[in-house]
Amino acid sequence: MLIDITSKSIDITPTMREKIEARMAKLEKTQVPLIKPQVIITKEKLLFKVEAKIGIPSGQLFASDENNDLYVALNNLGQKLERQLRRYHNKPIAGRVDKSLDIQQTPPPVA
């Protein structure tokens, strides 16, 4: 997968690139196709700010995180994206479960 990684104020090292690619590979395990993932890294004073935008078939995921440590910010960003992707992936299943529970809980007609 081709990941667009940009930085406004720091150089992107191979270690940073590997960390981002590993996190995106972990996201691909949900079997939802990721379309054009973009990651933007900026440094503002002492904070690193990481933003990610990923297209999915029916919309887009966006997450951002700030931290003093770049790798902690990348990890937190990955966790936020995982939660969003898991919610997207499980949404149709959750709707079916609710409907089936409603049918089971209705009392039988009184004759």
Q: What is the mean pLDDT of residues 34-39?
A: 91
Q: Is the pLDDT of residue 9 over 90?
A: no
> What pLDDT was estimated at residue 75?
94
Structure tokens at 41: 């890294």
Degrees (nearest 5) of the Cα angle 50, 42, 61? 30
Tell me the whole-structure pTM to 2 decimals. Answer: 0.76
Task: Give the pLDDT band (50/70/90) at residue 104.
Answer: low
Distances in Å between the Cα of 10 and the Cα atoms of 49, 93, 95, 99, 109 are 11, 42, 44, 51, 69
Q: Is the pLDDT of residue 91 over 60?
A: yes
37-89 confidence digits (pLDDT tens): 999 999 988 999 999 999 988 889 999 999 999 999 999 999 999 999 888 87
